[in-house]
Amino acid sequence: MTDGVAGVAHMKSGDRFTRGSKAVEALSKAGLLIAILAVVLYGSIANAAFFSTGNFLNVLTSMSIVGIVVVGMTFVLVVGGLADLSVPATIACGAILSLGLQPMIGPVPSFVVAVALAGAIGLLNGMLVGYFGVNPIIATLGVGTIGLGIVQAAVGGVIVYGTNPASAELVKGRLFGIPVVALIFAAIAIVGHFVLSRSFWGRWTLATGGNYSAAEASAVPVRAVKAGAFVITGLAAGISGGLLGLTLQSARPLVGTGYEFSAITAVVVGGVSIIGGFGSVPRAIAGLVFVQLLTNVMVLEGVRTPVQGFVLGTLIVCAVGMDAALRKRGGA
Amino acid sequence: MRYVSLALQYRVGIILGLTLIVSAMLVPGYVSATTLSLGLDRAATIGLIAIGLTVLLIAGQIDLSAGSVFALAGIVSIMLQPQLGILPAAAAGVVVGMVAGAINGALVVGLKVHSLVLTLATMLIFRSIAHWITDSQPVTGTDIMFSLALAQIYLDVFTVRSALFVAFILLLHFWLTRTIPGRNVFAVGSNAVAAEESGIASGRILFFGFVFAGTLAGLAGVLQSLVTNTGSPVFGSTLIVTVIAAVVVGGTRIEGGKGSALGTLGGVLTIGALTVAMEFQSVPAYVQQVVSGFILILLVVLDRTVNTRRKAAADRPAFVQGNPIKQGGSA
């Protein structure tokens, strides 16, 4: 509301604002690392169980499932799509189908079908947001409700169990001592990082989120790019849901509840701008690591679940507020 | 084309009429005073929240935390009953809603962040508090007779909350169309910067918009908890989709600047009629979810396509007129 006035003030003191913004930039980058170190330090002192291989492997495994969604969600936020709230539905879709279809078509095809269907839900989101210009929150909330309803109706609201122990063993197994799930997450994160930071698609994504009209005028296919971010999130959530289902060997329709918040929290805490145009996969993952370690410490210290939700919600507010404050100082 | 735009303008009425006709044909015994008052009563919960959300949406904001505020206010009004008595506890519940709204408003206006993301966070926070203070268990009230009295039907049609809802929506209609603050809400919603330049304190309007929405969500939660004599931390977790659907069906635009109280009334009644019809046919809850999600998407898309076309038509002459001015400025 007072942005216009602030902008003029910044123009006058151009060099000072640049220096200030550099310091802020450095702080925002290092701040997260310091925070992670602080949590690790506190955890190691407060609880003997924290600094152990077993605990870190646990954190890594649970982090990987959310992390795959985080990679997709980063694209949604960077492209200026606010958030994808249909993630619980796409995760449920991935988990239920990859288990439920096993007796009919085998584990691998059912996983592929599950991910493809989750991608289709993402495509529907993308069409609504990118091509029809529907508000992303409304579109994904609506599509998520529909998707979840259909998934529930399809299995009659009951729990689906896995029938193929071999696939479960594969997903739960380890390669060179690292959980397979974590390796899959690492692969997806690396691919996501390179797509966002090194490829034409990533440049388009950043351009679209930064300035939609300018990107459109520069012949960036803005609608497709915007839709694409939601397809990526749909696919990622489908993969994440499939892995979750295979790990647990059972899937409820509400299995994905809360994952959208975990993913958004991680991305926002990582310092990816909510209004788009700025952010990277490593930043989002740093946010994820911080949130996961914090949650882990809280669990080890016996903090109750609702309190954890409270802390995470407060964390989002702080991160969002900080983002707004930094943006104001940067004059953008 | 004129008929089309006329139909679009009064589409809420058309949708409501169609819903009632189809329901009356499919559901035996649908058109009776009892059924209708039941429908109205069911709609009242959605409706009270929708009143607050209508104001916020017109002002260009949204409150996703309404469902959590709904649960929290209800829990407080039940938990304080032994200490305070029923009515003061209910008042405390409404105050909780008001405070929650004030928190939302202060954060959105103070931090200047998008209300979507912020209320997403406060939705998590308020829901956590609800789980926290109840140990995730439902709580029961002291006096079931009071609940029964509250759920009673007066004058063949109204229960206490449906009467409250109808009264409030008429007041809102008057406020939005006849008073200066009401008009200012529209101004802020269509262009906050322009409104600010014309001397409207848009920050204050937004803040009180959130307080208003929170208070009404709290009131709805308190009434729901009193009628069911229960407060539960899971109450209202899927409510917000239905409420947004109701408001959007009523023709209020998500982007702000456009909407009406009577439209919301129509939207709420449509959703209520639909819910009761589906419940009478024992349609499972998840299918009801699919229907309300589908209606929401359909109407938003319809609204977008109509508006884009109209805006494109309106933009062209303005662009041509604007051209000479630009040339004059540069010379």
Task: State the Cα–Cα distance between residues B129 and B233, nearest whole angstrom.
Answer: 9
**How far is B109 from chain A, CA to nearest CA, in Å?**
10
| Chain A residues within 8 A of B290 when measuring between CB atoms | 145-146, 149-150, 153
> Which chain A residue's Cα is nearest to B204?
A1
- For residue A20, tell me if it sits in a domain: no
Report the pLDDT value the prediction gives residue A6, as an integer from 0 to 100: 40
Ranking A187-201, B218-232, B236-250 by mean pLDDT, the lowest is B236-250
Task: Tell me the average pLDDT across A5-15.
Answer: 39
- For the entire predicted model, the pTM comes to 0.79
A164 forms beta bridges with none
Residue among A263, A229, A267, A242 nearest A118 (CA): A242
In angstroms and rounded to an integer, the radius of gyration of the C-alpha atoms of chain B is: 21
Q: Yes or no: is domain B12-307 CATH 2.30.30?
A: no
Alpha carbons within 13 angstroms on the beta-carbon side of residue A270 total: 27
Report the pLDDT value the prediction gives residue A7, as an integer from 0 to 100: 39
Cα distances (angstroms) measured from residue A266 to each of A299, A317, B101, B111, B234: 18, 12, 26, 20, 25
Residue B255 makes CB contacts below 8 A (sequence gap 6+) with: A135, B60
| Chain B residues within 8 A of A141 when measuring between CB atoms | 240-241, 244, 293, 296
Using one digit for the tens of pLDDT, what is the confidence trace for B84-132?
Answer: 777 788 888 889 999 999 999 888 888 877 787 788 888 888 888 888 8
Report the pLDDT value the prediction gives residue B195, as an integer from 0 to 100: 77
Cα distances (angstroms) measured from residue B110 to each of A313, A321, B102, B203, B204: 17, 9, 11, 9, 10
Which residue did the predictor score with more confidence, A290 or B153? A290
B230 forms beta bridges with B140
Report the pLDDT value the prediction gives residue A120, as an integer from 0 to 100: 93
| Chain A residues within 8 A of B130 when measuring between CB atoms | 306
pLDDT at residue A119 above 60?
yes
**Residue B1 confidence class, pLDDT cut points 50, 70, 90:** low
Ranking A141-150, A295-304, B281-290 by mean pLDDT, the lowest is B281-290
Degrees to nearest 5, angle at CA B324 with B321 and B328:
145
Contact call for B308 and A133, based on CB within 8 A: yes
Ranking A263-272, B264-273, B301-310 by mean pLDDT, the lowest is B301-310
pLDDT at residue A304 above 70?
yes
Report the pLDDT value the prediction gives residue B328, as an integer from 0 to 100: 35
**How far is A139 from chain B, CA to nearest CA, in Å?**
6
Using one digit for the tens of pLDDT, what is the confidence trace for B183-197?
Answer: 777 877 777 777 777
ipTM field: 0.71
**What average pLDDT does chain A have?**
81
Domain boundaries, chain B: 12-307
Using one digit for the tens of pLDDT, what is the confidence trace for A48-91?
Answer: 777 788 888 888 888 899 999 999 999 998 998 888 889 989 99
Contact call for A274 and B117, based on CB within 8 A: yes
Report the pLDDT value the prediction gives residue A76, as an integer from 0 to 100: 92
What is the CA B50 to chain-centroid distance, rounded?
A: 2
- What six digits make up the tokens of B314? 């309106």
Q: How many CB pairs under 8 A join A and B?
A: 150
> Which chain A residue's Cα is nearest to B287?
A149
- For residue A2, tell me if it sits in a domain: no
| Chain B residues within 8 A of A324 when measuring between CB atoms | 111-113
- For residue A3, tell me if it sits in a domain: no
pLDDT at residue A15 above 60?
no
Which domain CATH number covers A283? 1.10.3470
Structural domain of A65? 27-330
Task: Tell me the average pLDDT across B212-227.
Answer: 88
Contact call for A146 and B304, based on CB within 8 A: no
Number of domains, chain A: 1
Q: Is A99 helix (H, G, I), strand (E, B) or coil?
A: helix
Contact call for A324 and B113, based on CB within 8 A: yes
Report the pLDDT value the prediction gives residue B321, as an integer from 0 to 100: 37
Using one digit for the tens of pLDDT, what is the confidence trace for B70-83?
Answer: 988 988 888 877 78
pLDDT at residue A44 above 80?
yes
**How far is A304 from chain B, CA to nearest CA, in Å?**
8
Using one digit for the tens of pLDDT, what is the confidence trace for B13-52?
Answer: 777 787 778 777 777 766 666 777 777 777 888 888 998 8
Q: Which of A82, A121, A137 to mutate to test the interface with B (most CBs of B within 10 A)?
A: A137
Contact call for B120 and A261, based on CB within 8 A: yes
**What average pLDDT does chain B have?**
77
Identify the DSSP state of B92.
Answer: H
| Chain B residues within 8 A of A313 when measuring between CB atoms | 121-125, 128
Ranking A142-151, B53-62, B151-160 by mean pLDDT, the lowest is B151-160
Task: State the Cα–Cα distance between residues A331 and A185, nearest whole angstrom.
Answer: 36
Contact call for B254 and A146, based on CB within 8 A: no
- For residue A10, tell me if it sits in a domain: no
Identify the DSSP state of B158.
Answer: B
Using one digit for the tens of pLDDT, what is the confidence trace for A228-287?
Answer: 999 999 999 999 999 998 888 888 877 887 788 888 888 888 878 777 788 889 889 998
Which residue did the predictor score with more confidence, B10 or A303? A303
pLDDT at residue A2 above 60?
no
- For residue A116, tell me if it sits in a domain: yes
**How far is A170 from chain B, CA to nearest CA, in Å?**
34
Q: Which of B107, B120, B288, B294 to mutate to test the interface with A (most CBs of A within 10 A)?
A: B120
Cα distances (angstroms) measured from residue B45 to each of A267, A271, B162: 35, 38, 8
A250 forms beta bridges with A161
Buried b (16+ CB within 10 A) or exposed e, B273-297: bbbbbbebeeeeebebbbbbbbbbb
- For residue A187, tell me if it sits in a domain: yes
The letter for the amino acid at A282 is P
Contact call for A310 and B129, based on CB within 8 A: yes
Report the pLDDT value the prediction gives residue B2, as an integer from 0 to 100: 63
- For residue A1, tell me if it sits in a domain: no
- For residue A4, tell me if it sits in a domain: no
Nearest residue, CB atoms, B297 vs list A83, A142, A304: A142
**Residue A160 confidence class, pLDDT cut points 50, 70, 90:** confident
Report the pLDDT value the prediction gives residue B327, as an integer from 0 to 100: 35
